[in-house]
Amino acid sequence: MEHHAPDTVGGPSRLTRRPQPASPGSPSPPKGHPIIYAYDRELAAWAAMLSPVDHSDPDSAREQVRQAQYQQPLRSVPEDLWIAEVDVPGPVGAPAVPVRVYAPVRPADPWAAAPAVLYFHGGGFVTGDLETGHDECVWTATALGVVVVNVAYRLAPQHPYPHALMDAHAVLYWLSTQGESLGVDPHRIAVVGEDAGAGIAASLCLLARERTGVRPCFQLLADPLLDDRLASPSAELFVDTPVLDRVQAANMWFHYVGAAAGGPHVSPYAAPGRADDLAGLPPTHLSVCEFDPARDEGIAYAERLIRSGVSAELHHYPGTFHGCASVPGAAVALRMREDRIHALHRALFTPPPRPVPAHEPPAGLATAPLT
């Protein structure tokens, strides 16, 4: 069944909720002090409907997400957008990585090399597939005239860290070395992610920095999940927010990194917010939502990037909640998506191409442990 928000007028709309207990052992907001959620008026009705998916049972969570995707209206794809599914060679000893390629037809100069976007869907490390970010990939490829590669990385808990990251690195390597057949310029590859996909994109940039292979020229991180410790004020306070709350964030991290989640031994390649050194990472566009448990870890990451000498742009959207950029008809959601497109355009078309070092094949999981 399709949900339609009622017609509203822009501006804040206040919803009051009593603080609820957070996950066991984690701090809770002060008792007796309700949290005022001043949602954007065009988002308020959706906020009341969009409860977080229960990630305590991964199979049930995946089925919920699949059903929600089936209820979406049929997508319109431009006739001049070529779409194909490809199996990319995976890491050593691992299966191939399914990807969906979106390539605009360029009849004026079909052999001209175009920039590319490597896209990682959201879903809390546990849910999601090639359909999850399909609309975003169509939008990006069409608006910018770039090749977009949508990655179906392996999901936790069946495939915990580092499997998704190694899949991501294998696809980056493939795109940089074999992308000529798609008309891709290996000097201009941006990585884009939402939610957990943004965390994987950030991890990929950290990993690429340490290796001699291709490095992305830009990273765009939307509502990123970056820190398993959930120790920021927003992570401690927002225990009943739409789409994502503290309890489900804790479930997601548990599935991705196991019982080590929140402890001292989680790798920064799993949780980039733990990385000590952010120098040398690519220019960054990072966006966060006001009422999102992951808000403060995103803000902290952007601030640390800037202090490390990285060109970083931070967007904080008042009145919003996690993942609301997909809400149809909301002006703030459209603005969020347009801001991303403008950032990618500046990154991929305005600066001169940056040289790419010699390529190095991705290492196998057994031969290159990430700690």
pLDDT per residue over 24-55, tens digit each? Answer: 344 444 444 578 899 999 999 999 999 999 99
Q: What domains does the chain contain, in order, with CATH numbers? A: 75-349 (3.40.50.1820)
Q: Residues 6 or more apart from 28 whose CB is under 8 A from it?
A: 19, 20, 21, 22, 236, 239
The distance in angstroms from the start CA to the end CA of the chain is: 45
User: What does 134-152 look like in DSSP terms, one character per residue?
Assistant: HHHHHHHHHHH--EEEEE-
Q: What is residue 350's predicted lDDT score, i.e. its pLDDT?
A: 80
Q: Model-level pTM greater than 0.75? A: yes
- Position 106 pLDDT exceeds 50: yes
pLDDT per residue over 68-77, tens digit each? Answer: 877 776 667 8
Rounded Cα distance between 187 and 200, Å, is 21
Three-state secondary-structure class, residue 326: helix
- Position 179 pLDDT exceeds 70: yes
Rounded Cα distance between 260 and 243, Å, is 25
CB 218 within 8 A of CB 344: yes
Lowest-confidence region among 82-91, 125-134, 149-158, 357-366: 357-366
Rounded Cα distance between 71 and 73, Å, is 6
Q: What is residue 294's predicted lDDT score, i.e. its pLDDT?
A: 98
- Position 358 pLDDT exceeds 50: no
Alpha-helical regions (H) of the chain: 41-49, 58-70, 134-144, 163-178, 196-210, 233-237, 246-257, 295-307, 331-349
- Position 162 pLDDT exceeds 50: yes
What does pLDDT average to over the chain?
Answer: 87
Q: Tell me whether strands 81-88 and 97-104 are parallel, antiparallel or unpaired.
A: antiparallel
Q: What is the dihedral of CA 97, 248, 226, 15, to 10 degrees?
A: 130
